[in-house]
Amino acid sequence: MAGKASKWSKEKVVAAILARRDAGLGVTSSEIRKDDTPLRGAIATHFGGTDAALLAAGIDPISVKPLTYWNKQMIRTEFLRIRGSVSSVNDLSRQYRSLDHAIRKHYGTYDALCDDLGIDVTTIRKQVREWSGDDLLAVLREMRDEGQPLNITNVHARFPSIHPVAVRCFGSYENALAEIGEKIQDHICEMKFGSYLGKKFERKLNEAFEALNMGYKYQKRLCGGSIMPDFWDESRRTFIDAKLSSWTVFCSSSIEKYLPHCNKLIVVYLRGEEIAHEIPNLELRHVSHYYPALVETGNEELVSQFEDILREASTEPTTEVLAA
């Protein structure tokens, strides 16, 4: 992420922000200012401010701001005070956004907050409505009829519960769009689509490792929380990093970030060729390395799903390179 701000582009700024987030680093204005002067300058040049850059990366600025001014006692007091004035989680998150984020940060769920308050969850659920899949589909159809883009950021502005409802009712937002005959790639910009495919590949790789009983820990924070490799083979002290494309390996910070903390770094990639290098303890490994074992254990469907992601990626514009 080094370099003068004048050499950056909006796409490179977005990619750098997503790389910081994925590495477990903070993306608030103060955190970027403290340890990444080039990125700070690039943000100012191309977006004018950190909030605009975060929104371009698909990150809600409020969701990453520190909530040090909230504690559980303050949350309980404020929730009880406003509880009778809202009829749904949607209303609460829209009218009392800071409280909503504090609840999710300190409690994780509204159920946990209700348990702490000693309130009957079924009673609360009558007052705080749980949105259904049909509610989400109705909003998607309405926005489509209005000619609105159906990317997650835009839909979230009208339906703040988009992510949990999509996952709970359809398995993913991609599946929710499919219910109304839409394809997710038609509603995600180039940079975000690349990030989406990269995450999809990473999650599918986790399914494969679990199917093969490889015992890897998925996204475990290490070294006091300063790094979070995609996978951690504790017995061999090996990090496994998932990359959509082999050519992004040497454009990212993974090597310098992870190699000092492990005995070996394996980069598993979906597309591209193995790139020759002379870096000790670094191995580039195509995902097909695992295909024979998957077939042998009756998991042929996972092989087909990797190939499906590859076909999706084949239509992805090359501007995705920095994000994959």
Choose among 230, 172, 163, 202: nearest CA to 313: 202
Name the amino acid, one letter, at 269.
Answer: Y
Mean pLDDT of the 265-272 span: 92
Which residue blocks in the chain are alpha helix, DSSP H? 10-22, 29-35, 37-46, 50-56, 61-64, 72-82, 89-95, 97-106, 110-117, 121-127, 133-145, 152-158, 162-170, 173-179, 190-211, 254-258, 291-296, 300-313
pLDDT band at 62 (very low <50, low <70, confident <90, very high): low
Is residue 257's pLDDT more than 50? yes
**pTM across the whole model:** 0.45
Which residues, in sequence order, are CB contacts of 96 under 8 Å at separation 6+? Answer: 78, 82, 86
Least confident range of 67-71, 96-100, 131-135, 278-282? 67-71
